[in-house]
Structure 1
Amino acid sequence: MTARHDGGADQERQVIDWLLAGDPALRWQVLRDLQGAPDTEWQAERARVASEGVGARLLALAGEDGQWAGGSFVPEGFTPADWKAEGQPWTATTYSLTQLREFGLDPSTPRLQEIVELVGRNSRWDHDGQSFWDGEVDTCINARTLADGSYFGLRLPTLTAWMLAEQQPDGGWNCERANGSVRSSFDTTINVLEALLELERAGQGTVETRRARHAGEEYLLERGLFRRKSTGEPADPGYLDLRYPWRWRYDVLRAADHLRAASLVDGTAPDPRIAPTIEHLRNRRRADGRWLLDEELRGRVWFTLDDGAGLPSRWVTFRALRVLRWWDAGQRA
């Protein structure tokens, strides 16, 4: 583990400049969340996501039927043998839509609105041929579908009600509930929490969705974001690794960034129970003020966003800085 490092103002400026030298999908968020730029400035940069960089590249890869790679969850023609040889693919429609949401592509973008309609008309889930925006039976898949649909301007009340009914007694969610699991999963829970927060941002939150979200957030907080409640040991050593894109995977930076976003929506201060995660993030900072990408998830992708595992990552660095600034501001308040 890298020794804790807190750089000075000059180094911070160099890191910000490095982030701003990245893609428009990252730059607009740096301007808004780290620079405090005027709305007109970051919104102008955000508008470029549809026409430049990785956002435009991904948007252009959608087919005439609105789908990516010809499928909802896996590419057309992708076989179990392919999965075994390559790992889980990330190029089909569900993960592509999620990536565009995380890039912050403006939901009003005409081509995106066309895609959303085409996907509803043409895309069917591999599970049992369900219409895409109706969801299927996997909680993680349905959570991303709910988050994406809400962000892109859809109302999905049936899927929302289904998600609330899937909540476990301990406050979280688990994709294995249909197979009898009564314990929640960190991975599943973070996907659902992001969906419920997206509902809130879209003006579709209710007393019930807020109650469910708060209970799910409490599930994570009770466990210090990465520990087993029963033993206090890390539930998975990989939860302490830092990565992006996350896909369906959980890690402490993803959880902390969600809690940051939720606190801004709820108007609440940072919860002190995430202090160990904050210390972990500080300890992982390199002497040059940046953070490394610990892992690139195995599997087929359209393109990569950083230079590779073990190297400095703009996306990880941005999110780590954003979390630390939120935390530090909360301590000064």
Structure 2
Amino acid sequence: MDVIDYLLDGDPAIRWQALRDLTDAAPEKVAAERARVAAEGWGARLLSLQADDGLWDGGVYRPGWVDEDRPMYDAWTATHFSLQQLADLGVDPADERVRRAVARVREHVRWDQEGAPAYFDGETEPCVNGVVLTVAAYFGEPGDAVLKTLLEGQLADGGWNCWAEYGAEVSSLHSTICVLEGLLAWERATGGTDEARAARLAAEEYLLERRLFLRRSTGDAIDPRFTMASYPVRWYYDVLRGLDYLRQARPEGDPRCAPAMELLRDRRGADGLWRLENTREGPTLFDMEGEREGFPSRWVTLRALRVLRWADQVPDRLRA
């Protein structure tokens, strides 16, 4: 099967993004396909699993932060990452079904701790707050409070670390990529501020100085798992996530992406597809067909192809 046909044979969430990013389809055709995401397939199924109180699976984020009268839940299947997944699927924020779902979150959902703030005000960890800011920007919700928390928590080296409140002084790629995605989404949605833009650019330098996955001291991989494509990304970093971010943030390209681009090209199979190389342990609300570790993945292939398309548009800027 042709690679594009393989993608277009998938869920509406895959099809509309493939049409937009890989085929130069007419805007009306892309919009028509996108409209199906909330009505059928993964998007409709995920929306249907939200309860009237705005929650997915009875909680917001952390299992164990519940009282005796509430059932246990898992972080992966709870509200926070369900909202991240809806944005990944590309549901239309103007769709009435989506508007109702987000309104339930805005009106009812608070973080799991007693006396905690509303969901869109964020909590304390930057990896969590970065995703909240992405979600807020995507669905048109206020994010000033969580943005303020993020800017106050940036470390001296330019990035973020969820362990900073316990004394960590060196940034984490996991935390940093979550915040970067949130800052870029917020800037695009609102026009941004000079302060937020400066924070984003400093964090991009943190990422690029490490060639997206290498130690500055030795040139070795910081963590072998960073070289392995995963999905859903949740709060985890990998090279493909870094490249997919930079194709949006720096469309002009940067030569420091070259080692990561070479790695991505090397991971392409003889059939033209990319495999899901690393799945995260834990339950899911439902399976997305074909997304099994070691097998071709529509999500990974879609993201990899749009990164390569970016590379083809600025080839001289993505070579070492």
Q: Could you tell me the TM-score, scaled by structure 1's length?
A: 0.89
SS in 2 for 1:130: coil
**Matches of 1:166 and 1:74, distance apart in 2:** 21
1:4 aligns with none
1:124 positional shift: 2.0
1:275 aligns with 258
Q: Relative to 1, partners in 2 of residues 1:38 and 1:144: Cα closer, same or farther, differing over 3 Å? A: same
Report 1:203-218 matches (<5 A).
203-218=190-205
Gaps (5+ residues) in structure 2? 68-72
**Matches of 1:152 and 1:198, distance apart in 2:** 11
Is 2:99 the counterpart of 1:113?
A: yes
**Matches of 2:62 and 2:50, distance apart in 1:** 14
1:76 positional shift: 8.5
Is 2:28 the counterpart of 1:34?
A: no
Maintained 8 Å contact 1:98/1:144: yes
**Matches of 1:284 and 1:145, distance apart in 2:** 31
**Matches of 2:74 and 2:238, distance apart in 1:** 18
SS in 2 for 1:49: coil
1:203 positional shift: 2.4
Q: Could you tell me the TM-score, scaled by structure 2's length?
A: 0.92
Measured against aligned partners, the alpha-carbon deviations of 1:194-220 in whole angstroms (never above 9, x if no partner) come to: 000110221241111111111111100
Measured against aligned partners, the alpha-carbon deviations of 1:45-77 in whole angstroms (never above 9, x if no partner) come to: 011101011011001110011110111114699
Structure 1 vs Structure 2 CA RMSD: 2.0
**Matches of 1:157 and 1:235, distance apart in 2:** 33
Q: Kindly indicate whether structure 1 or structure 2 has the higher relative contact order, using CA contacts under 8 Å at least 6 residues apart.
A: 1
Maintained 8 Å contact 1:70/1:76: no
Gaps (5+ residues) in structure 1? 1-10, 80-86
Is 2:211 the counterpart of 1:224?
A: yes
**Matches of 1:137 and 1:183, distance apart in 2:** 17
**Matches of 1:138 and 1:210, distance apart in 2:** 20
Report 1:1-333 matches (<5 A).
14-74=2-62, 89-128=75-114, 129-264=116-251, 269-307=252-290, 308-331=292-315
1:231 positional shift: 2.5
1:95 positional shift: 0.3
Aligned residue-pair number? 311
**Matches of 1:126 and 1:69, distance apart in 2:** 13
Q: Relative to 1, partners in 2 of residues 1:140 and 1:39: Cα closer, same or farther, differing over 3 Å? A: same
For 1:295, the aligned partner's letter is N
For 1:94, the aligned partner's letter is H
**Matches of 1:330 and 1:214, distance apart in 2:** 20
For 1:143, the aligned partner's letter is G
Measured against aligned partners, the alpha-carbon deviations of 1:167-196 in whole angstroms (never above 9, x if no partner) come to: 111111111111111110000000000000
1:140 positional shift: 1.0
